Structure 1
């Protein structure tokens, strides 16, 4: 009977030691997780040392990646095209004339997907079907054309937005590098 009590006491002591060891490991693990979470949350916060992204104006020339942009003008329209072929806006067309220069070493494919209108947290995509009917004075269209290194092209990008959005003072054009938009710049359109 004494042997049974000794066995039970030994098992109980081992169980307590095991639980204590596990809880201290868990506590250490929890501390490591908490520290990692703090580092992750602090690194995801924007640094005060980083410069805010500059907001350009119509007429400014600036570079994003290997591409140089100059937004020439912004105009509004209710219809694009001519009397025979064209489209009417659901709201109002914002037509942006932009010059693009390829400063890279390879040709790039131009697309209206490189452009978005931004108003606060809201993003507006370009209207490719309306863009077909809009050309610059030289007749150029930016949709899916190739631009070789050291060359530039001027064309227009069309957005169909609510008339209040078209004239909103906070409306900005976002330009980006390529389809994935790893680098961007903003242009104020109504200030």
Structure 2
């Protein structure tokens, strides 16, 4: 009878251990499954948050302002106003003149600028200064030309907090001067940019 009872206790013990093992395995499996589901849920939430951040950053990205002739704006350390523009065959002062090549015209841009920086600087120059070009029909590009004519903004430094009126010249084909198609100016000073709509 003792053998029978010991045998019964041993069988019950084995059954209990087996049952506990299954419960532990199911518990571990459930924990792993829950952790996997939680990881997947977290990854989905992170992806959704990332997509929302990207969308909001795109929505928050400032649209580039396009200025009109006569508007004043800031470009780096410069306060800039394109007062007027015209097309002409030549540009002159009291002592000198410069003529556009045959079949071309000068686009003369009349500016009023103020140096808001802390050092004397040139507005435009052969090397350095504000980079500027005209874009015709959003694809044809024309850079500015430095002249030796009095009033050219590429000549001489402008002291801090000082203003100066003058011009910048670009040589363009007659077809650009006569056309009514889009003509814009793109200005760049280091990382600062501006666009002015001429027509």
Task: Choose 1 or 2 for highest CA Rg.
Answer: 2
Count of residue pairs brought into register by the alignment: 172
Alpha-carbon distance between aligned partners in 2 of 1:13 and 1:143, rounded to the nearest angstrom: 80
Q: In the alignment, which residue of structure 2 is the partner of 1:18?
A: 32
How many angstroms does 1:24 deviate by? Answer: 1.7
Asked if 1:114 is matched to 2:114, the reply is: no
Alpha-carbon distance between aligned partners in 2 of 1:8 and 1:76, rounded to the nearest angstrom: 94
Asked if 1:173 is matched to 2:185, the reply is: yes
Q: Is contact 2:123–2:154 with CA below 8 Å preserved after alignment?
A: yes
Change (3 A) 1:39 1:92: farther
How many angstroms does 1:173 deviate by? Answer: 1.6
Q: In the alignment, which residue of structure 1 is the partner of 2:9?
A: none
Change (3 A) 1:19 1:74: farther
Query: What secondary structure is seen at the aligned counterpart in 2 of 1:126?
Result: strand
Query: What secondary structure is seen at the aligned counterpart in 2 of 1:169?
Result: coil
How many angstroms does 1:92 deviate by? Answer: 4.8
Query: What secondary structure is seen at the aligned counterpart in 2 of 1:72?
Result: strand
Q: Is contact 2:115–2:158 with CA below 8 Å preserved after alignment?
A: no
Alpha-carbon distance between aligned partners in 2 of 1:105 and 1:168, rounded to the nearest angstrom: 37
How many angstroms does 1:117 deviate by? Answer: 2.4
Q: Which runs of 5+ in 2 are unaligned?
A: 1-13, 92-97
Query: What secondary structure is seen at the aligned counterpart in 1 of 2:192?
Result: coil
Asked if 1:30 is matched to 2:44, the reply is: yes
Q: In the alignment, which residue of structure 2 is the partner of 1:45?
A: 59
Query: What secondary structure is seen at the aligned counterpart in 1 of 2:84?
Result: strand
Query: What secondary structure is seen at the aligned counterpart in 2 of 1:143?
Result: coil
Alpha-carbon distance between aligned partners in 2 of 1:38 and 1:126, rounded to the nearest angstrom: 41
Q: Is contact 2:134–2:184 with CA below 8 Å preserved after alignment?
A: yes
Root-mean-square deviation (CA, aligned residues, Å) is 4.3
Q: Which runs of 4+ in 1 moved over 3 A?
A: 1-13, 50-55, 85-89, 91-94, 118-123, 140-145, 159-166
Q: In the alignment, which residue of structure 2 is the partner of 1:146?
A: 157
Could you list the per-position Cα deviations for residues 121-177 of structure 1 after superposition, in whole angstroms to 9, with x for gaps in the alignment? 5473515xxx13x354xx24333742113130413232557945973522112335x
User: Could you tell which deviates more after superposition, 156-165 or 108-117?
Assistant: 156-165
Change (3 A) 1:98 1:17: same
Q: Is contact 1:100–1:154 with CA below 8 Å preserved after alignment?
A: yes
Q: Which runs of 5+ in 1 are unaligned?
A: none
